[in-house]
Amino acid sequence: MPEGVSGDWRVEHFTVSKEASERTAIRSWRDEYVPAGDYTRLMRGRVVVMSDTPMEERTNGWIMRRARGRVLINGLGIGMVLREVLAKPDVVSVTVIEKAPEVIELVGPTFADDPRLTIIQADALEYQPPRGEKFDIVWHDIWDFICSDNLPEMHRLHRKYGRRTKEQWSWCRERCELGR
């Protein structure tokens, strides 16, 4: 993913040193450990919205493992999930709903050559798929932080797509339900 800036958004590469990595190892939740290495992140101002650290890979693993057929992803991020989903031969189409046009500008061109992909600039909570459209699997990842405050929006999205898919999940929903 190339680095870039658009409005308040930016994609940047960063390095986690061995010392910084060791500090993450002492945190209370196992997913917070970040091995030393080079990574990419999406920032909005000073907020890290998404990165490609192993924690992000683990917490997005559900969709990356289960994607098939017609897929809907709410939230583009740095395209880490999208890249893995498009790599699966049994994925027929992917629709991504992304609220921020700046994110689409920064990340979308990386995937422009895949005819299975449609990126729609819209708020996931307000977007209405065309009448009768169904998906084999739906993934919701529109939140910057893992917290129980996200649960009402998660529940709203799950109700919204309940009759449009057999399978759906929200990023870190289990952790939010546990209050972690």
Domains of the chain, residue spans: 4-53, 58-178
107 falls in which pLDDT band (50, 70, 90)?
A: very high
Maximum CA extent, the chain = 53
The pLDDT of residue 28 is 45
Tokens found for residue 76 = 């583009």
The pLDDT of residue 176 is 56
pLDDT above 90: residue 155: no
CA 8 to CA 105: how far, in whole Å? 12
Query: What does pTM read for this prediction?
Result: 0.88
CA 8 to CA 46: how far, in whole Å? 9
Q: What sections of 73-161 are H helices per DSSP?
A: 80-86, 101-107, 151-161
pLDDT above 60: residue 180: no
* Better-scored residue on pLDDT, 101 or 170: 101
Q: Which CATH class is domain 58-178?
A: alpha beta
Q: How many residues does the chain have?
A: 180
Contact 36/16 with Cβ under 8 angstroms? yes
91 falls in which pLDDT band (50, 70, 90)?
A: very high
Segment 53-78 shows an average pLDDT of 89
Tell which residue, 58, 71, 64, has the closest CA to residue 161. 71
